[in-house]
Chains A and B, each alone.
Chain A
């Protein structure tokens, strides 16, 4: 047997041992392990829910940015050609993403289409309408500044914006993001603490074994690994359960949103688009909680 093959066999044998010991420990403290997994799952679901809320707020605001256009009305005295000539100035304004010109004739047609059968407007002429630009923005937060810049353009008579909506959404998004960040950090610490306590219980039950291991010359890492495996297995189990729960919740929320007529302006991110990042995030957090908790728990048993 080559030296390389020998090392490979040893590593496999050790990994098998660590895994076996980790699993055995989980089952020997079945109730505590189960409780830890459930608590980690719950923490992850709460963390996930707030993260998804923040993510969807971003998504909704992005959608609104695309939909929520500013109407830039051109001075009555400007001809069609003069109004069209302003496009370059409008387009070059900071934060302007897209510009669409509507002549007063087109504006009237669009208006009349809304009242097809209304005879009141039969004598309406296009003179009462203004040439206009529909402007979509890069960032909704800068709507007010963009409005001020557009109104300064010579030939622009009026700019119509829905500042209240944009301000409301931005404020809501900021609050949700801040609350989510605080909760995610807090729940992460709680999860690590709970994991650490569960593994501390295991290490307490196995303190004699740990003392024997030290006495026969086991290295600190060899003593630590079975506990890390135990933490990782529990963390990943909690993460997987949380992912399934979160997925179901999100799916149900999406169905409700789609069915709702009052909330029709809210479009959630498609569940298919976030499944992989969500699974990866949950597993990463579960892994971190497992490793962090076990390392904290075993620290005191590794002195000398």
Chain B
């Protein structure tokens, strides 16, 4: 009788024996996009600061926000896009940064921050700058035209994809029509909706980053994608090409923020400062293939790669950063659902 009782109790507590393992070192919990940091820098930081980095990945800002919104998962550092950082700031989910703890911030060029909601870098510092464009296979489709209207081009019928991200996809249509991609004007949005519906008939699917494997596999011919994704791929499949439509595009500014419930703020500050160390920053850029607006680090960069991760001034002027539009966001959600159900 007692043996049986003991056995039952043992069985019920086994999981907890497994789960409660001791922690001796400090742990820095980072919530990041995948392949968005050079692994060698992580191990270097772990060694220098005698700590352990635990990294989790998200694949959209909204998924990350939803997770944080409903609870406190306990991260120390997050890498959201600038518009999401602004929402998190409004909701007091992140702290105002104490710049004295990040001396290396002096290397940061403010050109990109100035296009975001946080021009003075009060609660966020730019980590990586991306540009949305078109990825294609130079061998199969050498003559891809640099325009967003390519989504309606019958030549790529059912072999072309757009992002499964309402702001980016609708943004492409808005840019093509010559409007701001942060517009909330009903007429402009209605026009964009019609265009999206027209394009949709020609599209294979709405896909995010997974489109790049479909492109490499030959399933798709042209995809909407970030520049860094394509540059990363070029290292082992050189026939991959990337270009930015001449109508202008969306600039993504991913920033570093510290959540207010972080239990390891000091370590998080150390990490931010560490990442802006010009040498580390250059190494990281070479790995992630996105621009970090760190003037000192850019001097250390391989010129060939540098040419790929920045864009011309002319295009920069035409391009915008996706901003938070508050309650007007529901217009986009509604429109996106209507496009998809059409």
Asked if A and B are interacting partners, one says no
